[in-house]
Structure 1
Amino acid sequence: MQYNKLGKSGLKISEMSFGSWLTFGNQLDVQKVKDTMREAFNHGVNFFDNAEGYANGLSESLMGMVLKEYRRTDLIVSTKIFWGGNGPNDTGVSRKHLLEGTWNSLKRLQLDYVDLVYCHRPDPDTPIEETVYGMDYLIRNGLAMYWGTSEWEPEQIEEAYKIADKRNLIAPTMEQPQYNMFVREKVDKKFVPLFEKYGLGTTTWSPLASGLLTGKYNDGIPENSRLSRFSRIKKMMEEQGVFTEENIEKVRKLTKIAKDLDATMAQLALAWIIKNPNVSTVITGASSVEQVKENMKAAEIKDKLTDDVMDKIESILDNKPE
């Protein structure tokens, strides 16, 4: 496992990490959470991603039951604040909810602090200046080590940096954007100035496009697959123009490249992401130990992605932002 610096910080983060979205509390019980986390840790994963909104907090509670088995200094743990409940101040990234949401997350995770805390989405009802002040407070009071954003636009992140500089506040370290072979506009184009100017780190999510890049949908949508269970995910992918017959055909062609490399389609898709020097880590998910093992092998496939292989992949994808 390779360990990368998270942005300009001194934090070393595993190039492949493990997240709980859609699995902890929805598919996995305590024992399976323990088994999959242990398998990821044994492969060198040190970053475990979570959020207050995942399974309405149950995801954090399940992870918290397992984290105490490990030495805290060996782990990087995150939470994301935005969706904390139904009250008028339980949603968003106001200073009040950032503090109270983080307190509640720490209780569920059974931790004194998280390493990373994110604004899970931009909040149109809260000035960015207030959010920066709130995040600065969390870090200076030992509730988190670093803060970042998730699915923010580059202009919003730029404003956060400028406010932090002007007010002598702690600036964001990382962004958590969706990034995969079919969703790449932000990482491959829009964020490039932020990488160059601020050294922004990235902890990317949805590397397999909800399973599309595993090849499992090449012949239709199987029963019990993610798209059959979570209609909102399928709707999101359709709205993004990701779940299309054209892209499925591209996956069929990419699968042939994967076979030539003695890899699965999923491993090829993950290796393609961690090959990008602007990706600090890619967050993987799994519903079984076997899936964790398969995903982790992508770190070995990365070295097989020569310039020629990358050119073949790009010729099939034909979607590289100009």
Structure 2
Amino acid sequence: MDYRKLGNSGAVVSSLCLGTMTFGAEADEATSFQLMDLYAEAGGNFLDTADVYSAGVSEEIVGRWLKAHPTEAGQMVVATKGRFPMGKGPNDIGISRRHLVRALDASLKRLGVGQIDLYQMHAWDALTPIEETLRFLNDAVSAGKIAYYGFSNFLGWHITKAVHLAKANHWAPPVTLQPQYNLLVREIELEIVPACLDAGIGLLPWSPLGGGWLAGKYQRDVKPTGATRLGENPNRGMEAFGPRNSQERTWQIIDAVAAVAKNREATSAQVALAWVAAQPAVTSVILGARTAEQLKDNLGAGSLTLGSDEIASLSAISAPQISDYPYGTAGTNQRFRKIEGGR
């Protein structure tokens, strides 16, 4: 496994991050400990959780593992998030100072640490002025409660506005963004990736396997069954399966991934993860395994480097489908070409 800078910070993290959303829900504590053991043994040093995962239980499990493994804990970069409701009150949600000051202290307690390495705003909050959030985060850095901060599920203009406000006020800058990103979902390349590249912000993609689709778990027009996320919840499974199943693009991408995997004697999951890891601005790819077998397979992506031709072919078949304007040939790009050519 290789290591990369955590966005524009000086911290270094492994290119594969262990996500812990399954801890306390789909993975009990014993299984969660096993997953963290396997991840640490493979050289991983980056754990990602959130207060809302299993209503705080995920953070508690991570905290107990860190306490039981002091040597590994000293090397781990621990990330968590705040934003979503942890109570029933009107102020138990959002990224206001009122909510975050309590959410951060609660996360520190559940994790059993004196400082959180990366504290992320789990989503944009239209009710709270972003200046209020940034001022709180800067204060938290100054107080030593967090080392760095980042965002999750922000849009391009959210990121750019926050970056420039932080710079103008001499506040600590954001270092990361955690978005959904995979071969099936690439729309962030239109605005969000350019905003992150412009600011030096590192991407931490979640759902890099598209909910299991890119691992080759599903078959065209076959109802999901068995030990898969969609198969274990038939009603929700069919609701989520139908739209993606009906798109020819889905199966073209899955087939292309499988072809590369066969040629490289790898699994489809490893190829899909390696593609994401190779994309511009990506710092670390978040693995969402539920079992030791899944994690072992996913960790194999850490030693898989795709060739430029393989990346190009997968990128071409999965190119995001966008309308002609404003990103297409009849939009801004065409106008630039006319200007360059002398109108």
TM over 0.5: yes
Q: Is the 8 A contact 1:27 1:287 kept in 2?
A: yes
Q: Does the Cα contact within 8 Å between 2:186 and 2:319 map onto a contact in 1?
A: no
Which residue matches 2:80? 79
Distance in 1 separating the partners of 2:6 and 2:114:
22
Corresponding residue to 2:186 among 184, 190, 207: 184
- The separation in 1 between residues aligned to 2:239 and 2:122, in whole angstroms, is 17
Alignment of 1:66-105 (within 5 A): 66-68=65-67, 69-71=69-71, 72-83=73-84, 84-105=86-107
* Partner of residue 225, structure 1: 228
CA–CA distance in structure 2, aligned partners of residues 279 and 54 of structure 1: 24
> Deviation per CA, 1:279-320, whole angstroms, max 9, x where unpaired?
000000212222211111112222xx2122223223432437
Give the match for residue 147 of structure 1.
Answer: 149
Residues 238 and 8 of structure 1: CA distance in aligned 2, closer, same or farther (over 3 Å)? same
Aligned-pair CA distance for 1:257: 1.9
Partner secondary structure for residue 56 of structure 2: helix
Q: What letter corresponds to residue 146 of structure 2 in structure 1? A: A
Matched, 1:6 2:24: no
- 8 A Cα contact 1:182 1:242, kept in partner: no
Q: 1:236 to 1:13 in 2, by over 3 A?
A: farther
Q: 1:172 aligns with which of 154, 168, 174?
A: 174
Per-residue Cα deviation, 1:202-224 (whole angstroms, up to 9, x for no partner): 11110001101111112531233
Any conservation in 1 of the 2:160–2:199 contact (CA below 8 Å)? no
SS at match of 2:212: helix
* Partner of residue 195, structure 1: 196
Q: How far off its partner does 1:229 sit?
A: 3.7
CA contact (8 A) 1:136 1:169 kept: yes
Give, in whole Å, the separation in 1 of the partners of 2:245 and 2:149: 32
The aligned length equals 317
Q: Which residue of 2 aligns with 1:273?
A: 276
Partner of 1:40: 39
Segment drifting more, 309-318 vs 201-210: 309-318
Question: What's the CA shift for 1:45?
Answer: 0.7
Counterpart of 2:79 in 1: which secondary structure? strand
Write out aligned runs for 1:56-71 (5 A). 56-68=55-67, 69-71=69-71
| Equivalent residue letter for 1:271 | A
Shift of 1:230: 5.4
Cα 1:143/1:232, change in 2 over 3 Å: farther
Identity of aligned residues (%): 35
CA deviation string 1:225-272 (max 9, x = no partner): 102345897589579x65544213431342122111101110110010
> 1:212 touches 1:243 (CA, 8 Å); kept in 2?
no
Alpha-carbon spacing, 1:232–1:197, altered in 2? closer, same or farther (3 Å)? farther
In structure 2, distance between residues paired with 1:78 and 1:48: 6
**TM-superposed deviation, 1:113:** 1.4
Separation in 1 of the partners of 2:316 and 2:211?
23
| 2:28 corresponds to | 29
Residues 45-88 of structure 1: CA distance to partner in whole angstroms, max 9, x if unpaired? 10000001111111111111111113343010011001222211
Separation of aligned partners in 2, 1:232 and 1:173: 39
Instruction: Assess, with a 3 A threshold, how the Cα gap between structure 1 residues 236 and 90 changes in structure 2: closer, same or farther.
Output: farther
Unaligned ranges ≥5, structure 2: 328-343
Partner Cα separation in structure 2 for residue 182 and residue 13 of structure 1: 26
Q: Which of 289, 296, 300 is the equivalent residue of 1:297?
A: 300
CA contact (8 A) 1:180 1:269 kept: yes
Q: Which amino acid aligns with 1:160?
A: A
CA distance in 2, matches of 1:232, 1:283: 27
Q: With the length of structure 1 as denominator, give the TM-score of the two structures.
A: 0.92
TM-score for both structures, normalised by structure 2 = 0.86
Rg (Cα) greater in structure:
2
Cα distance in structure 2, aligned partners of 1:34 and 1:48: 12
Partners of 1:29 and 1:238 in 2: CA distance: 27
**1:89 CA drift (Å):** 0.9
**1 CA distance for matches of 2:53 and 2:112?**
16
User: Relative to 1, partners in 2 of residues 1:158 and 1:265: Cα closer, same or farther, differing over 3 Å?
Assistant: same
Amino acid at match of 1:46: N
Which residue in the other structure is 1:135 paired with? 137
Aligned CA RMSD, in angstroms, stands at 2.1
**Partners of 2:264 and 2:149 in 1: CA distance:** 38
Letter in 2 for 1:272: W
